[in-house]
A and B are shown apart, each in its own frame.
Chain A
Amino acid sequence: MNNSLLKVENLTMKFGGLTAVDNLSFSANNNEITSIIGPNGAGKTTVFNCLTGFYKATDGEMFLNKNDEIISLKKFTDYKIAQKAKVARTFQNIRLFPAMSVLENLLVAQHNELMVASGYSIFGILNLKRYQDKEKQAVEKAKYWLDIIGLTNRADDNAGDLPYGDQRKLEIVRAMCIDPKLLCLDEPAAGLNPKESSELNKLLKFIKNDKKTGILLIEHDMSVVMGISDHVVVLNYGKKIFQGSPVETRNSKAVIEAYLGVDE
Chain B
Amino acid sequence: MKISAEIKTIIKDSLFTGLISLALFGPIVGLKTSSKGEGLFVTPHVSIVVLLVAACIVGRFLIGLNSLRKKEINLIGNITSTISNYMDNKGKHVAITGVLFAIVFPFLPFTDRYVLDVSIMILTYIMLGWGLNIVVGLAGLLDLGYVAFYAVGAYSYALIATTFGWSFWVCLPLAGLFAGFFGILLGFPVLRLRGDYLAIVTLGFGEIVRIILINWYEVTNGPDGITGIPRPSFFGLEFKKFPDEGETSFHTFFNLEYSTMHRIIFLYYLILVLALITNYFTLKIRKLPVGRAWEALREDEIACKSLGVNPTNTKLTAFAIGATFGGFAGAFFATRQAFVSPESFTFIESAIIVAIVVLGGMGSQTGVVLAAIFLIGITEVFRDLEQYRMIAFGGAMVLIMIFKPKGILANRKPTITLKDYIK
Contacts and interface: CB of A to CB of B under 8 A. Distances in A.
Interface of A: 52-54, 78-84, 88-91, 95-101, 103-104, 107-112, 114-115, 118, 120-121, 124-125, 135-136, 139, 142-143, 146, 152, 155-156, 174-175, 178
B254 interface: no
A125 B414 contact: no
Given A101-B414, A103-B417, A108-B304, A79 B296 contact: no
A107 B292 contact: yes
Contact of A156 (B281, B302, B419): B419
B306 A52 contact: yes
A155 B418 contact: yes
Interface stretch (B229-237, B308-316, B370-378, B391-399): B308-316
Given A79-B305, A97-B299, 15 more contacts: A79-B308, A81-B308, A83-B310, A95-B303, A100-B296, A103-B417, A104-B415, A107-B289, A109-B307, A111-B292, A111-B293, A111-B307, A121-B317, A125-B285, A156-B419
Contact of A139 (B302, B304, B308, B416): B416
In order of increasing CB-CB distance, the 8 nearest A-B pairs are A83-B308, A82-B308, A97-B299, A155-B418, A114-B289, A95-B303, A101-B414, A124-B288
Contact of A95 (B302, B418, B419): B302
Contacts of B311: 79
Contacts of A143: 418, 422
A98 B299 contact: yes
A91 B302 CA distance: 10
Contacts of A82: 305-308
Contact of B289 (A84, A115, A156): A115
7 contacts: A79-B311, A96-B303, A99-B299, A108-B292, A124-B284, A124-B290, A174-B307
B289 A111 contact: yes
Interface of B: 281, 284-285, 288-290, 292-293, 295-296, 299-300, 302-311, 317, 412, 414-419, 421-422
For A53, A54, A111, the residue with the greatest tally of chain B CB atoms inside 10 Å of its CB is A111
A88 to B, nearest CB: 7
Contacts of B289: 107, 110-111, 114-115, 118, 121, 124
Contacts of B293: 108, 111, 115
Contact of A178 (B284, B288, B295, B307): B307
Contacts of B414: 100-101, 103-104, 156
Contacts of B307: 79, 82, 88, 108-109, 111, 174-175, 178
A121 B314 CA distance: 12
Contacts of B303: 91, 95-97
A4 to B, nearest CB: 24
Contact of B285 (A54, A78, A121): A121
Nearest to A53: B305
Of residues A88, A95, A142, which shows the largest number of chain B Cβ atoms within 10 Å of its Cβ? A95
A117 to B, nearest CB: 8
Contacts of A103: 414, 416-418
Nearest to A160: B299
Contacts of A98: 299
Contacts of B292: 100, 104, 107-108, 111
A136 B418 CA distance: 10
A98 B307 CA distance: 15
B321 to A, nearest CB: 9
Contacts of A125: 281, 284-285, 288
B226 to A, nearest CB: 34
Nearest to A127: B284
B421 A97 contact: no
Nearest to B314: A111
B288 A78 contact: no
A178 B311 CA distance: 17
A112 to B, nearest CB: 5
Nearest to A52: B306
B299 A112 contact: no
A79 B417 CA distance: 27
Nearest to A85: B308
Contacts of A90: 306
Contacts of B300: 95-97
